[in-house]
Structure 1
């Protein structure tokens, strides 16, 4: 008789249960994650009415693979450049929310008499919102075009990175079993070091490799190579003491910067869905229904803390970042749930055996409840804002409005800020690369040379020479490379105040380079020899090989920047800053009555009060199109207006359009410019200033005192103190205004 391995039988049982429950949940229009968890409860050891899984150890291994591919998929949607582009508003909101919820979760756990580790992990579980649930709710409610949706998406991006940091910190804390400040600091520095190193190395190597092998890649080989890269990074992460999930997330975020990102995401989606389903089913298998009954009150407490805490903290964070009251309330009520990452954090506590058995099912139950409440909270957010606006004192709402207006728009950086920011990036990046080369040379290069080429002192000398050849371009960039020449020149001309600090900065850069060379020598020779050789070699490299090093470094930098910007150059689309008016993207339907008509014939601005900032036609971009521009099928319009105006225009298109408006990702921004007597357009009319012609930009609003003018006439004359809202390319606007 043929014997069927238990793993295959268990896998068949899991997928059958998951298939049935997800069909039911699709029918009742609920998130599939909840269906997977319910399937896990049914086939788990605590439910005896149907066949149960027998080989739970093997299922746990499959679930770990599921976590890896789930984090890999999140990384593909994340990308570090997205984190940079979300700006301070989303970052402030996310940080306020995470810190508040960490504290709220800890205090709630302590109030219920839980252990310290249970309380800390509860705070981590409650601090991360659910990307999947929010996106689904936004799509079903049709609010993706609204202003607050862009802020919510930005907060979710920041939360992804914070969740990765939490995984590392909670792992360190769980293993040490005490809140050692030194260990936490070392873990954070170690994480930062490897994040920078992996990102720089990954962006330099991976896109180059994919581009070189592009002709050899079909769907099958692309899938195999992508998963191989993911697992290689998982091995590297584990090798240096991090979780496999971190490695998968990092590789996903690196691949997200390549031109193949969409294809890789499409090819790996089925693999991710399969293993993620197994992971979430394994989550359900760990839930004992009797615990849910016994801990009904803690589940209620955790749910209330989640909803109220996230609403308060997210709203407060949005207000502090300069958002209007309405946007802040809508953001807070949208983020009031916990989801996928929370399960991963809870799984970490179980796998490390530092949390109690009841914490996991309580977190899952609270997630299920908040999943059901999320759509209703989003729907009620606007009525709740109107209620608050009525009952709050007028001076409060006026103060919030003034604060919001004062913090939005362009803030011109001083020369010192520009220079110090550039020097900080230069120092961190090249210090990380230098340390990595030195440590790799001492631990891998030198043993290899002495074992296979030449041993003894000669082996050490050869190893040092090879290491210095690798270090040289980065030492040159660290110590000598000219950074932000214009800002540096402006500051240098102010002899009385700035030359001293500038000289100090340059001396610091040179000394840091000398230190790294000395550090390399110290790994191979005695201290005094290291100091002398470091000084001599540093001077030699700077004086003799400066031009060659500059040329070589420029090639490295050019390749890195080309890889980093390749995907953006391929798409070449705009990014949004928040205001009552904002950008949204809509597609012209194939059977629209607008086809073939010019913008002046359509009178869209007059009918709906909106402006068309950009037309994307295939690979062609038409910024701030003129009145004689015609519309064609499948044109993507980047339109600017208020929530109400965009909703009205979307309704106009709904009879023919199948997709929802989405937030674009581009260089097109809504910006605030304050006119002064030194401004280039001071005293000129909008028409004479030539803003449309020179900057491909539109003036969409002007504030003069207490007066707000929407869509001003072309003969409006700019005066000192006018606040001008312009949509267009930020660089061109700065050059023109």
Structure 2
């Protein structure tokens, strides 16, 4: 127990020093999170400055900051919104965590760390910091689809972290990892979440509405914070993260419809304890340990930033997000935080890792915490730069891919989630599980089997090992082939649902888009299955056989994809001529509203080009007189211009240097949200309230 004097002293020292550093950083126009971390370094035990706060007291108080931050974040995400973003965020999180676990393991082995230390390293760098991102997003006013995607990924990462901790505990304690134990752990987690949500929906929203009706802000604040801490404590009692419980509490309160009232009241309390949390992170920075392990810290920092940027961007794009949102999500998630400390501490408590893992994790977290606000701030310009530098076929594909995924989501459920899709998904999971069992089983029993073969047949031990490995490779081939074949069949089902083929024997004008969509879906499905398989089996396999097989497969699909993207670009050019003719025919029409309906038939004639929408530029348009490159329409919104009608002339697939003029009618394509955002940008009208893509000003 801490005395009242210690608590008072710690709060006074922390908040006074934090006040000075944050005022300084505000003057320098830097994120206040950096000021909090600097304050933590100042009041920490590692610098010879006569301002020291009790680390244990500060850590205890910082836990309140984590809980309140997660509660506030949950207030923004009702359960309906969370379920809506869940599938795409889940795919992104699985790809990201699998790649990072594998990279962390490889780095650990490269530094000569044990297998367990390498596994813990991979686990702790796989989970990003919800607290740090929430604070940075609040400071930079990040809203819309980017925030929804990032928070969805973070929640799924927390669930993955729970499973990782259970798995690592089983391995480290010597009980071993079994499919039964992992299934039991997963089942318990699902049961807890379902039970909490079902019971909470019956109680919490009604209780919050009743309290708010009393019109007593003090009562509303006390009741809301009480619900927050009660659910967080419940989650902890079941062995899960208090942050997860607090987030779910916020989501349940948001179901009451009074989340804005609660959020306004909780804000000041949250800000105080969030400041203490970031100060506590700064207090953990030990300059001496950083100097001792600087090489590992530097390498892991680079791996975290580059690895998360690549993996999150890849996962987000494959699930249908624009280049801009995908890159911004990757740069936003490029750090580690509180869950990494928990995993590192677990390794120490189980005596599975050396004492150096924890300070290394803290140092990497501190450095990436410093870089996160900057990465989020520059993510918009970086995303625009990436979009500009993409080859033309890829620019075309990126725009249209979002429209295909949107059509796939909107397709009738009986088409996309029918019995055949579920059956194929089950077959793929079965192939992946059997492949994992075969690899791990061969690795664990190769020694005993080799000795047995040597005794029975008199074969040299090394030769017997090669025989066992060769047999395992032969046995694994059917499973590898099965994954590829099922991925293709599943991709065909989904591609056909998004872009149905013609059944009347006429020319199938959707063939080119469907082919490239098929390859992309096949690539995404293989990544979703194969990357976790490689991450799980890597500790049991010597060398880089698994990653090399995966890279070879991706390379082969990549060549096919590039050919398809090139053909798609030609298909779009041909389609643009049809759009030009439609716009030209419309220009002779005197019917009111002819502009709006000029391209209604194009999507039926040329499926795969999205739903082209005409937009007329007025004299007052902010885009008039600027080139398409200066407007940066595709980079900012995700929509692209297929054609322009200018008086009696037209331009198909205009270049970036095309100057827009008043009276131009632009044929835009992209997702519905992207087209709405583009129309707003071109006409200067206010952006719709549901606009998903953040603008450059926001970021």
TM-score range for the pair, normalised by the shorter chain length: 0.5 to 0.7
Q: Which residue of structure 2 aligns with residue 58 of structure 1? A: 57
Do the aligned partners of 2:224 and 2:262 also contact (CA within 8 Å) in 1? yes
CA drift of 1:158 comes to 1.8
CA drift of 1:108 comes to 2.3
Q: Does 1:382 align with 2:384?
A: yes
Change in Cα spacing, 1:582 to 1:211, as seen in structure 2 (3 Å) is farther
Do the aligned partners of 1:389 and 1:397 also contact (CA within 8 Å) in 2? yes
SS at match of 2:76: helix
SS at match of 2:407: coil
Task: Provide Cα deviations, 1:688-728, integer angstroms capped at 9, x if missing partner.
Answer: xxxxxxxxxxxxxxxxxxxxxxxxxxxxxxxxxxxxxxxxx
Task: Provide Cα deviations, 1:58-113, integer angstroms capped at 9, x if missing partner.
Answer: 33322222222222222223332222222644443343223222322332233223
Task: Provide Cα deviations, 1:157-197, integer angstroms capped at 9, x if missing partner.
Answer: 22232232134224424543536233332221111111111
SS at match of 2:269: helix
Change in Cα spacing, 1:323 to 1:369, as seen in structure 2 (3 Å) is same
Q: Which residue of structure 2 aligns with residue 366 of structure 1? A: 367
Q: Which residue of structure 2 aligns with residue 7 of structure 1? A: 7
CA drift of 1:151 comes to 4.8
CA drift of 1:15 comes to 0.8
CA drift of 1:124 comes to 4.1
CA drift of 1:600 comes to 13
Q: Which residue of structure 1 aligns with residue 341 of structure 2? A: 346
Q: Which residue of structure 1 aligns with residue 91 of structure 2? A: 92
Q: Which residue of structure 2 aligns with residue 202 of structure 1? A: 200
Bigger Cα displacement from structure 2, 56-65 vs 404-413: 404-413
Alpha-carbon distance in 2 for matches of 1:320, 1:404:
9
Alpha-carbon distance in 2 for matches of 1:336, 1:232:
29
CA drift of 1:33 comes to 2.1
Q: Which residue of structure 1 aligns with residue 331 of structure 2? A: 334
Do the aligned partners of 1:40 and 1:285 also contact (CA within 8 Å) in 2? yes
SS at match of 1:408: helix
Task: Provide Cα deviations, 1:231-259, integer angstroms capped at 9, x if missing partner.
Answer: 22233223333233332222122112221
**Selected match of 1:153 from 147, 150, 153:** 147
Q: Which residue of structure 2 aligns with residue 295 of structure 1? A: 293
Q: Does 1:647 align with 2:681?
A: yes
Change in Cα spacing, 1:344 to 1:333, as seen in structure 2 (3 Å) is closer
Task: Provide Cα deviations, 1:556-595, integer angstroms capped at 9, x if missing partner.
Answer: xxxxxxxxxxxxxxxxxxxxxxx99999xxxxxxxxxxxx
SS at match of 2:334: coil
Structure 1 unmatched ranges of 5 or more: 424-578, 584-598, 611-637, 654-660, 667-737
Residues 191-340 of structure 1 correspond to what in structure 2 (within 5 A)?
Answer: 191-323=189-321, 326-327=323-324, 330-331=327-328, 334-335=331-332, 337-338=334-335
Alpha-carbon distance in 1 for matches of 2:362, 2:414:
54
Task: Provide Cα deviations, 1:218-241, integer angstroms capped at 9, x if missing partner.
Answer: 110011111111222233223333
Change in Cα spacing, 1:228 to 1:103, as seen in structure 2 (3 Å) is same
**Selected match of 2:159 from 158, 165, 170:** 165
Change in Cα spacing, 1:185 to 1:28, as seen in structure 2 (3 Å) is farther
Do the aligned partners of 1:318 and 1:331 also contact (CA within 8 Å) in 2? no
Do the aligned partners of 2:104 and 2:125 also contact (CA within 8 Å) in 1? yes
Question: Going by fraction, where is helix more abundant, 1 or 2?
Answer: 2
Alpha-carbon distance in 2 for matches of 1:50, 1:14:
13
Q: Which residue of structure 1 aligns with residue 48 of structure 2? A: 48
Alpha-carbon distance in 2 for matches of 1:224, 1:137:
26
Change in Cα spacing, 1:237 to 1:384, as seen in structure 2 (3 Å) is closer
Change in Cα spacing, 1:408 to 1:104, as seen in structure 2 (3 Å) is same
Higher RCO by CA contacts (8 Å cutoff, separation 6 or greater)? 2
TM-score w.r.t. the length of structure 2 is: 0.55
SS at match of 1:29: coil
Alpha-carbon distance in 1 for matches of 2:145, 2:673:
18
CA drift of 1:199 comes to 0.7
SS at match of 2:69: helix
Q: Which residue of structure 2 aligns with residue 33 of structure 1? A: 33
SS at match of 1:353: helix
Change in Cα spacing, 1:140 to 1:663, as seen in structure 2 (3 Å) is farther
CA drift of 1:328 comes to 6.9
Alpha-carbon distance in 2 for matches of 1:165, 1:302:
23
Alpha-carbon distance in 2 for matches of 1:37, 1:263:
31
SS at match of 2:390: helix
TM-score w.r.t. the length of structure 1 is: 0.53
Task: Provide Cα deviations, 1:28-70, integer angstroms capped at 9, x if missing partner.
Answer: 23222222122111111111222212x3333332222222222
Q: Which residue of structure 1 aligns with residue 405 of structure 2? A: 407
CA drift of 1:264 comes to 1.2
Residues 631-710 of structure 1 correspond to what in structure 2 (within 5 A)?
Answer: 641=675, 645-650=679-684, 664=690
CA RMSD of aligned residues (A): 4.2
Equivalenced residues, count = 446
Do the aligned partners of 2:90 and 2:156 also contact (CA within 8 Å) in 1? no
Do the aligned partners of 2:211 and 2:220 also contact (CA within 8 Å) in 1? no
Alpha-carbon distance in 2 for matches of 1:176, 1:663:
48
SS at match of 2:298: helix
Alpha-carbon distance in 1 for matches of 2:416, 2:195:
25
**Selected match of 2:177 from 176, 180, 183:** 180
Residues 455-604 of structure 1 correspond to what in structure 2 (within 5 A)?
Answer: none
Change in Cα spacing, 1:161 to 1:416, as seen in structure 2 (3 Å) is same
Q: Does 1:67 align with 2:66?
A: yes
Change in Cα spacing, 1:102 to 1:120, as seen in structure 2 (3 Å) is same
Do the aligned partners of 1:229 and 1:251 also contact (CA within 8 Å) in 2? yes
